[in-house]
Amino acid sequence: MEVAVIGAGPVGLMLAAELRLGGAEVVVLDRRAAPDGRPRANGLGGRIVEQLDHRGLLGRFRAEAAFAGPFPGFPFGAVPLNFAKLGRSPLHGLMVQQPRMEALLTERALELGAEIRRGHALVDLGTVRGPDGDYHLDARYVVGCDGAHSRVRELAGIGFPGTTDGELLRLGHFRADVPLFAATTRGWDRRPGGRVLVTSLTPGVVIVGVREVTPEPPGEPTLDEFRAALRRVLGEDLPLGEPLWLSRTTSSARLATRYRAGHVFLAGDAAHVFPAGGSALNVGLLDAVNLGWKLAAVVRGSAPESLLDSYHAERHPVAARTLTQTRVQALLDRLTGEDGDALRTLFGELAAFPEPTRHLGELLRDADELPYVPDLPLVVDGEPTRVAEVMRAARTVLFDFADRADLREAAGPDVKIVTARCPDAPADALLVRPDGVVTFSGDDPASLREALTAPGR
């Protein structure tokens, strides 16, 4: 086996699909006997939406989404950002709950030929415990997509420094026919003992959150415990209805010291956890898109082993930058008293101006500073198309906008050549990696050849 992916959550499944597109054999191992039905995430936003378009998956996700399109606004911690004044929203989203995401990504990975084994737990980096006993894991590479408490990260000896908050979040989904919004304000309602959230993303289902500074009790969360927490913070009971899912978590801010240890890699929550902002899944799925084509190219023998070092070099700074902005969001949410009020007031004043709003919106969209190919309108062989249509096969592409035979020759046989007309072309040609990163923009064949041999090409 060429690659073993540990964890069949969205990140592991996305990685499996990317590896198969690149021609690598992959097995996904998950200790759970069945998919997790809990709605841990409620949607996606930012650049990952564009990447789903590149892979031909956007239509599937839109068909399942309660909302799909540009967000008119978005919360930055406790400060609402209004994108309407920008003319064009920097942040597009898909409101699809995590169980449906996993089902769609499972479908895609299986279509492409990935193998998924459920009920198989990693014992060590060479041993798996399955339903029929232990067996040897003979994989050239292992990727830990197994969450914040990653067994892969532990076995690889990779540090995970950071901080853990003292505030406990209880979250519940309830079947309720009566709206609860009259009981609280929209968004997080601040009370002396903590905060309460009441919202809904699905008709007939209400999401209730309670935050308070308290130790996490042992055992699984219960409805009585949830009601007691609500009563302490809100000062009254709410007609919650039938509980569909209860959870409790303590938020952390942590970043792995490295994303690679020899033949072992980390992606998603195994590599980073953020204390606020809903960024974790977006960043994790983009980890998968970055790593997938690189691992596949190396196992196929079309790229040197050194290419894999660019995964940490490119994705670790993205997580570090995301950790910075989510720490600020958490502080805006959590800080109490006059200091908290002053901080939120000043941020709110800054957010009234277009440029700070645009900057924060772009940061929420993606903290990656690499140049990505724009969604240009193209005409290829007389037919209109888009860049996203060309990127479906996850190959390196040379977009030749000036009918330059010398540039096409310099690209070589391993690059897909697309000769296109484009009135908005930024250069004679663009060389675009399978993950959408532009590695060459210009008209010089020698520079193009140099870009094809550079690290992270």
**Where in the chain are the domains?**
3-160+256-365, 166-251, 377-453
> How many alpha carbons lie under 13 Å from residue 157 in its C-beta half-sphere?
3
**CA atoms of 260 and 167, how far apart (whole Å):** 32
**CA atoms of 108 and 105, how far apart (whole Å):** 5
**CA atoms of 86 and 73, how far apart (whole Å):** 10
Which residues are CB-contacts of 305 (< 8 A; sequence separation ≥ 6)? 298
For residue 35, CA distances in Å to 44, 116, 118, 278 come to: 19, 11, 8, 21
What's the pLDDT at 177? 66
Given a contact cutoff of 8 angstroms between Cβ atoms, the answer to whether 175 and 244 are in contact is: yes
**CA atoms of 181 and 198, how far apart (whole Å):** 6
The band of 182, judged by pLDDT with boundaries at 50, 70 and 90, is: very low
What's the pLDDT at 260? 98
Residue 184 confidence (pLDDT) above 50: no
Closest listed residue to residue 278, CA positions, set 95, 58, 420, 70: 95
CATH code for residues 3-160+256-365: 3.50.50.60
Q: Bridge-partner residues for 168, per DSSP?
A: 212, 250
* CATH class of the domain defined by 166-251: alpha beta
**CA atoms of 337 and 341, how far apart (whole Å):** 6
Task: State the Cα angle at 21 between 295 and 52, rounded to 5°.
Answer: 105
**Rounded to two decimals, what is the model's pTM?**
0.92
Q: Mean pLDDT, to the nearest integer, of 369-397?
A: 94
The band of 412, judged by pLDDT with boundaries at 50, 70 and 90, is: confident
For residue 39, CA distances in Å to 28, 99, 121, 246, 279 come to: 21, 6, 23, 10, 15
Which residue's structure tokens are 């968004």? 187
Task: Supply the angle between the helices 354-365 and 309-334 in degrees, to the nearest 10.
Answer: 130
The band of 178, judged by pLDDT with boundaries at 50, 70 and 90, is: low
What SS3 state is found at 389?
A: helix
Query: Looking at the domain 377-453, which fold is it?
Result: Glutaredoxin (3.40.30)
Q: If you count them, how many residues does the chain have? A: 457
Which residue's structure tokens are 């990685």? 15
Q: Mean pLDDT, to the nearest integer, of 22-36?
A: 95
What's the pLDDT at 185? 46
Q: Mean pLDDT, to the nearest integer, of 210-231?
A: 90
What's the pLDDT at 288? 98
Beta strand ranges found along 192-256 (DSSP E): 194-202, 205-213, 242-255
What's the pLDDT at 189? 84
What's the pLDDT at 201? 73
What's the pLDDT at 386? 94
Task: State the Cα angle at 92 between 88 and 94, rounded to 5°.
Answer: 150
Residue-wise pLDDT tens digits, 104-161: 999 999 999 999 999 999 999 999 999 999 999 999 999 999 999 999 999 999 999 9
Residue 384 confidence (pLDDT) above 60: yes
The b/e string for 36-54 (b: 16+ C-beta within 10 A; e otherwise) is eeebbbbbbbbbbbbbbbb
The band of 179, judged by pLDDT with boundaries at 50, 70 and 90, is: low
Residue-wise pLDDT tens digits, 284-331: 999 999 999 999 999 999 999 999 999 999 999 999 999 999 999 999
Q: Mean pLDDT, to the nearest integer, of 231-249?
A: 88
Q: Bridge-partner residues for 198, per DSSP?
A: 208
